A and B are shown apart, each in its own frame.
Chain A
Amino acid sequence: MGNLLKSLGAVILTPSEPANQRVLALYSPLSKSEKSPLGADSWQFSQRDCFFSLREHLALRRNLLTFFVIAASLLLSGGASVQEALGQDTPDYFQQNCMSCHTIGGGRLTGPDLKDLSKRQDREWFVNFLMNPKAVIDSGDSYAKKILEESRNIPMPTPPGITRERAENLLDLIEAESQLEESRFRGLQISTAPFTDEDRANGRNIFRGTQRLEAGGASCISCHSMHGLGALGGGRLGPDLTNVYERLKGRAAISAWLMAPGTATMQPIFKSHPLTSEEVNSLAAYFESTTAERPATSSTGQVAFLLSGLIGAVLGVFFLDAIWNRRFHSVRRSLVKANTSRGKS
């Protein structure tokens, strides 16, 4: 994320052309020729404030556009997280890339508990699997298939920026942590206290964004939809979360996911803005409460969206017409009109 910010910052702060070129560009070939038998730098001095700023304003608009294009492409490619993973030490890497699905001695989440991994298969197999899980699964390996089934057919994504060395280090780490009485990667200590109505209400507010996330992350509704959000529903980038509690099989897995979301879209957002454990608990409570509901049907949402878009467009046209209705107004004609109507009355 740091790199991401840095590269975006560079786009904003670096002028699109060096300052001296900008000044030169102000002189047309003609004005250059006319510039000065008088020696001084021709004329534009007193205009500088105004018309330079107009030019700069246009340049800024170009820069902002570049900003959004780059921001979008970086987010989509997840390029920033790959970059960063290369320079990380192994425990951090594990924390950020594995913990949303795995624990060491904390029981299974989406993926299996990794305690005493070395007793299940030989080390080479694990290295191969880490390097490219999909390839191993596709090769029809029976053990890989078994894991896949246990994980509700969610294949393990290729860890970002994985190298053979990194895979070896990870396996060493898991080995070492397995020896410990209580690993620091035992996973989240999920409260077992039953969800209260307050939790559910808080979760609902967090989901809808009426309550801000403490670390400033984006609220769920920006990308996800949900039962009971009204005609427009939520965002459509991520899946509908009405039944997510059931889909992820319970409190432990959903909490782990929320602590460190693993997808390429969510990870870069929440890595620097993690949820607190209270927020996680509230959201889990909310997701549990909606499990029985039917997901918001996308078709009604789409129709409502289309309709509101159309209505908005029509209103917009009237609005623009109202503010610009004198745009082709002729000064002369109104003088003539005022005079002739005065004559009649």
Chain B
Amino acid sequence: MNIRSQVSMVFHLDKCIGCHTCSIACKNIWTDRKGADYMWWNNVETKPGTGYPTKWEDQEQYQGGWEKNGDQPIRIKSTGKARVIPNIFHNPHMPSMDDYYEPWTYDYQNLFNAEEGSDQPIAKPISMITGEDIEVESGPNWDDDLGGSQIYASNDPNLEGLSDQQRLQLSSVERLVMFYLPRICNHCLNPCCVASCPSGALYKRGEDGIVLIDQKKCRAWRSCVAACPYKKTYFNWFTGKSEKCILCFPRLETGQAPACFHSCVGRIRYLGVLLYDADRLEEVANLPDEELVEGQRSLILNPHDPEIIRKAQSAGIPDGVIESAQQSPVYKFVMEWKIALPPHIEYRTLPMLFYVPPMSPVMANFEEGLASHTMKNLFHGIDESRIPMQYFANLFGGGHEGVVRYAMGKQLAVRWHRRAETVGDVDRATADRFLREADCSLEEAEAIYKLTSLCTFEDRFVIPPMHREEAIEMIKEPGEQKAETGFGFVGGPRRGL
């Protein structure tokens, strides 16, 4: 057993209101630079929709992630020993600028400097790449709130396996439905971007599992851009280096939640440490599709188990990290309650960002033209959900409904329970029946309710001590290093390219 710690995340989609505050917080801190202007390390997508970059989930198109053929061990879908040669001058599976969107600003000066005329002067859109006038054709959330759904939502790759009737219902006026999917780098356990880099510029930090790109080693191969199935590495066209979400590690190291977590209005984001067994990674990444979700859970170790604690200590994991793993909200969502699921586990990168799938809107019953909320069908069953279970299965279950059904059922049961507790128009027996059917005890339901609805800052973000002072001891004498860490730069920043 090879125990490591991983800073992991849960996004509670039922609480996301799609306000994009997270995206803006990230943009302002990290990507408000020339060349990074089109990047959204954090973005929020409307589902059903094609997302950013367009149709990123379509791996026939982008060849992201790992692929498994029969009994062969998994291999990178986009590149490899021999396959790099024919594509050495051009990787055909890369998203084009148009699939992200061409970043633009407005010619504000014209508002002040325009010559006098009979019309109001306008600020024309100009490209941030070429500086020329452009016709804005798309943006990072162009299909926000189902905008252009005939083009975008109807081409969502997650609609695969849905019947024609189900597809039709998704876009019919009475049943129209959408939810939001905020996305950052998943800081995967088996990151395809790291594996594909010919320069060895990408790496996964030992102490917290954050995946980073060494800007001094990156040689612009862009293999990571093609290999990442979530399209969460981006190529900076100005510096000629690839960049990605760094999980705000400078903030984490100083005990603050990442900017997107910190700023989240709906408080949907949870962050905590998980302990996992690195020795079994390869075995789990090679499991058949339907066993992947369970397989990934089996990697994650119980931080309360004295045996695990002892082994973690001998593996060099600091006590503070083990302690925060025990309080980790992520462990509760993923392992204790099993209501948070990894996105597209079938890409086999073993993402460490988990989503609590959203409940569809409460449906009103129409009786004689009037909407009425009756107790009989207060919360519809998960099978009458506006979003078909198959859609969630494609997104969170690797195509298989079982785990999604379990997570949704439990959430539903918690709603019945709380209704019985607070409003009282549902009798206790009904609520208990729902809880039983959902494999959920009363205490568990209360705990889910508390961490979902009444969570404080400290409940949501259990940030482990990063112990950077120990990390530096691996390569330098602490005495020599004294003047170099903390403030200032280890290597001087270079100007320009």
Contacts and interface: CB of A to CB of B under 8 A. Distances in A.
Interface string B72-107: 010110011100100000101001101100000000
Contacts of A69: none
A33 B472 CA distance: 5
Chain B interface size, under 10 / 10 to 19 / 20 to 34 / 35 or more? 35 or more
B182 to A, nearest CB: 21
A53 B200 CA distance: 11
Interface in B43-77: 50, 53-55, 58, 61, 73, 75-76
B95 A331 contact: yes
Contacts of B315: 38-40
B98 A330 contact: yes
Contacts, number: 145
Interface in A294-345: 324, 326-333, 335-336, 339
B436 interface: no
A49 B90 CA distance: 23
Interface in B166-225: 190, 194-198, 200-201, 203-207, 212, 214, 216-217
B81 A28 contact: no
A42 interface: yes
Contacts of B190: 46
Contacts of B152: 335
Given A34-B205, A328-B96, A51 B198 contact: yes
A58 B50 CA distance: 36
Contacts of A57: 81, 84
A77 interface: no
Nearest to B191: A47
B485 to A, nearest CB: 10
A324 B90 contact: yes
A40 B276 CA distance: 14
A32 B3 CA distance: 19
B90 A54 contact: no
Interface residues of A, number: 42
B81 A26 contact: no
B198 A55 contact: yes
> Secondary structure at chain A's binding surface: helix, strand, loop or mixed?
helix
B117 to A, nearest CB: 34
A30 B53 CA distance: 30
A339 B151 contact: yes
Contact of A331 (B61, B214, B467, B476): B61
A33 B195 contact: no
B163 interface: no
Contacts of B212: 30
> Secondary structure at chain B's binding surface: helix, strand, loop or mixed?
loop
Interface string A23-39: 00111111111111111
B125 interface: no
A40 B281 CA distance: 15
Interface in B450-487: 467, 470-472, 474-476
Nearest to B76: A50
A50 to B, nearest CB: 4
B475 A54 contact: no
B150 interface: yes
B470 A54 contact: no
A43 interface: yes
A126 to B, nearest CB: 58
A323 to B, nearest CB: 9
Nearest to A343: B150
A318 to B, nearest CB: 17
Nearest to A31: B203
B496 interface: no
Given A26-B200, A333-B98, A43 B206 contact: yes
Contacts of A49: 73
Contacts of A36: 206-207, 316, 474
B55 A331 contact: yes
Contact of A37 (B58, B79, B281, B470): B470
A324 B5 CA distance: 44
B285 interface: yes
Contact of A51 (B194, B318, B476): B194
13 contacts: A29-B475, A31-B205, A37-B470, A37-B474, A40-B2, A51-B197, A53-B80, A54-B84, A324-B92, A326-B92, A329-B96, A331-B58, A335-B55
**Closest A-B pairs by Cβ, 6 of them:** A330-B98, A39-B316, A332-B54, A31-B203, A47-B195, A28-B214
Interface of B: 2-5, 50, 53-55, 58, 61, 73, 75-76, 79-81, 84, 90, 92, 95-96, 98-99, 137-138, 150-152, 155, 190, 194-198, 200-201, 203-207, 212, 214, 216-217, 278, 281-282, 285, 315-318, 467, 470-472, 474-476
Interface of A: 25-40, 42-47, 49-51, 53-55, 57-58, 324, 326-333, 335-336, 339
